[in-house]
Every structure is written in C-alpha cells, then in structure tokens.
Amino acid sequence: MNEKNTINPESHMMTHGYKPELSEGSIKPPVFQTSTFVFKSAEEGKAFFEVAYGVREKNDNEELGLIYSRINNPNLEILEDRLKLWDSADDSAVFESGMAAISTVLLEYLKPGDTIVYSSPTYGGTDHFINHYLPSIGVNSIRVLPTDSIEDVLIYINESEYDNESVKIFYIETPSNPTNDLFDINGFSKLKDSFNEMYNNNCKLIVDNTYMGPIWQKPLEIGADLTVYSATKYIGGHSDLIAGVVMGKEEDMIRVKTLRTFLGNMVSPHTAWLMLRSLETLKLRMDKQQENAIEVANYLRHHPKIEKVYYLDKHVKEKNFDIWINQCSGSGAMISFDVVGGEKEAFMFLNNLKLIKLAVSLGSTESLAQHPSTMTHIGVDEEIKQTLGISEKLIRLSIGVENNVDLIKDIEQALSKAYSEQT
C-alpha cells in the first residue's frame, strides 16, 4: 500500500511534497518569491513548455518543470500536493480567492445556452455570479431549495423552458450559508449520472464544502466531481489571507488548471507559504472550533430570547438529519440563530459583543458575528431571502478557538444588554 494511504493527512502536513535538500536543508519550505526560473539548457526549456502547454503528454516519472510563477511555483506545488490528501483527490488547484475558484470552474464548464442547476441559499457572491453575470453570457439557471427533493429537482428541470440536454452543472453548497441547510450530495450525484446516461451531457456535480471544510465532509467520496472551497476560511484559518481551492479527478483538474494558467488567478508564493503553515494545525483548530460550537449551540437553545437555532446536531430537523448522518462526520463550527424581535434587536446584540468580533468571513481562530440579511446576503432578492429564512432577526456566528466559557459569557452579556435597552 502507498505510504500516503497509510498515514493520516494531518501527519503528512509537516513534510509531504517537500525535499529539504533542495532548499539548503531548511526544515520548512522557504518563500520562493520569484517570477521566473532558470533553465539548465534550451532543450530543457523546450521540454518544460511542451508539457505545460499540452503539446505532448508527460513521460513516465516526468514532472512539470519550473517555468514561471503564473504556471507553477514550488510553494504552490507543495501546497497543492498536501491539500489533495484531505479530500483524497487526484489533484488540487489554489486560487487567489474563493470566488476566483468558483468563477473559474463555472466558466470552464458553462457556455452560452448551457444551464446550471444550483442550490439556494448559497454564498452571496456565488448567487450574484450565477444570477447577474452568467445570464450576460447566455447561461441559464434553475434554483432549487432545501425543501426540494431530488424528484422535485427533476420536475423543475423538465418543466423549465430549457432543454434537458443543456444541463451541464449541478452546483450545491452544503451546508448552506447562512442557515446550515443540507443538500443530498449522493442524491444529486445519481441525478447527474442519469442525465449523463440519457443525454450524454457530461454533467458535473460541484460541491462548495467551505462550511464543513475538509475535515467534516468528503464530497468527492460520495459522488461529487469537484469540490470548491473558500480557503480564506478554515484552510487559511487566521484571517490573514485570501484564497480558494478546487479539488477533483485528474481529467477535470487538467481543465481547471489550464484555464487558471491563462486567467492568471493562481495564488501568490507568499500566500501559498502562509497556507502551508495553516495546514499544519488545520485539524487541531477545527476540532477545537467544533467543540466550542457544540457548547455555544446548547446554550443558545435554552435562552428565552432565542427563537430558533440553526446548527447540525441531534436537533436537526428530520430531512436534514438523515442527510447529515449520511454525509457529514461532524457538526461543524457555524451557528445561526433567530433572536426575538427583528433587525433592531439583532443589531443591539451585535453592537454589544466584546470578545466576539463583528465582521464577515468565517472559519478563523477568532469568533465572528454578522447579520446576513444586511451584509453577506444583501444582494439576494428580498422575497427569496424570506423564503430561505434569511430574515432580519437572523444572526450568524463563526466559532473560533477561544475558551467556550468566555464565548458564552460574551453572548450572555450582549443579549442581556440588547433586551434591557428596550425597557
């Protein structure tokens, strides 16, 4: 059995893909802050470019040579070698932002006249790209909701004005941002397979796994073709970088990486180096964040000023519970909840937090709180927001690595002040 299959990913994060002897014995990869690389000969340069531009296939045991940091860079290569281990992927590609990763994948697989079937709610930037940019290049879309079954999705496609043959992508974000609703990855995978069999569509199932990160859910293992991440979140995990990741099968990753080369939206050497640092503590951080989130969610459920808690644990509603048990290995560290009242009460709560910071983003070491309706999801149609439960009273928490007792105390005092100010 291959070594990489016998050692857990968190152990590989220290050394995999790096040879100290090539960097003066440095225990950690240095930052290769360079734009270009010197060839040993003109013949070597020719060979490198032939492979990089697809003029020929690589020979056995031949590696893509270092050419130019837009094409490849040691920091980027080491990072991608390590990242793919978390999802058991053939390959990974790192981008300068989560939206760069998402938009590149969608642009690679969608052409004018094609249709994307996508889950909602989804991240506000993704929603905007699908509903405002893609129509400008002639791409159609069909929205599906958490309450829809796979049978419902098929009905929507059949009843739409678009030909079934035009469906090229099923795109789901699960758990969804910000309500933690779940979509059945395996169910969508079977639907995709049926479309490919009936219409020879070469459909792809793409899963945004940002909310669960690479620890608590493995989309590729249960039917996804590609997994996308905002690596700004758990993978980066320190609120000091912006990045995105795509992982998947070799045939798909070749296409994604080729387009990335010519769009030029790969991550920089320094950011790749920072991410290598972050990968070493990824599981430690996420385990602690989940531990804290479970305690915070339990507290919120018993507070008289909290109407509803959206968290993936034993209290998950029936349909979501079955999906959660089947496709997730944990509860995650994202909690949303409805306060009693509306925007006024939500804002008073947010304004009185002290330890927890009022900011968007998620998955970092510090705990963050925000108001989705007026912040991350402000661009979503108002009627759709109400349908999805993204109301004025909804607050989203990203739980960090602080002491959970202190987090609960901060929430308690903020709630107390918010409602005492009303009287």
145-197: pLDDT as tens digits: 999 999 999 999 999 999 999 999 999 999 999 999 999 999 999 999 999 99
> Tell me, what's the pLDDT at 1?
37
d(CA 225, CA 188): 11
Copy the structure tokens of residue 260: 């990335």
> Tell me, what's the pLDDT at 270?
97
b/e map of 96-117 (b: 16 or more CB within 10 Å)? bbbbbbbbbbbbbbbeeebbbb
**What is the largest distance, in Å, between two alpha-carbon atoms of the chain?**
80
The total of other beta-carbon atoms located within 10 Å of residue 137's CB is: 12
**Cα 53 → chain centroid:** 29
Round the average pLDDT of the chain to a whole number and report it. 94
Residue 220 makes CB contacts below 8 A (sequence gap 6+) with 87, 88, 89, 227, 247, 248, 249
Residue ranges of the chain whose pLDDT lies below 70: 1-5, 421-423
> Tell me, what's the pLDDT at 422?
62
d(CA 293, CA 331): 8
pTM: 0.93
The total of other beta-carbon atoms located within 10 Å of residue 65's CB is: 17
> Tell me, what's the pLDDT at 317?
75
Asked if residues 205 and 188 have their Cβ atoms less than 8 Å apart, the reply is yes
Residue 48 makes CB contacts below 8 A (sequence gap 6+) with 39, 64, 65, 66, 67
Partnered with residue 394 across adjacent β-strands are: 338
b/e map of 44-61 (b: 16 or more CB within 10 Å)? eeebbeebbeeeeeeeee
Side by side, which strands form the sheet with 368-370?
306-310, 334-339, 394-398, 368-370, 357-358
> Tell me, what's the pLDDT at 51?
87
d(CA 240, CA 225): 30
Closest CA to 216 of 331, 322, 323, 321: 331
Q: Which domains does the chain have, with CATH numbers?
A: 69-279 (3.40.640.10), 282-420 (3.90.1150.10)
Backbone angles phi, psi at 252, to 5 degrees: -75, -40
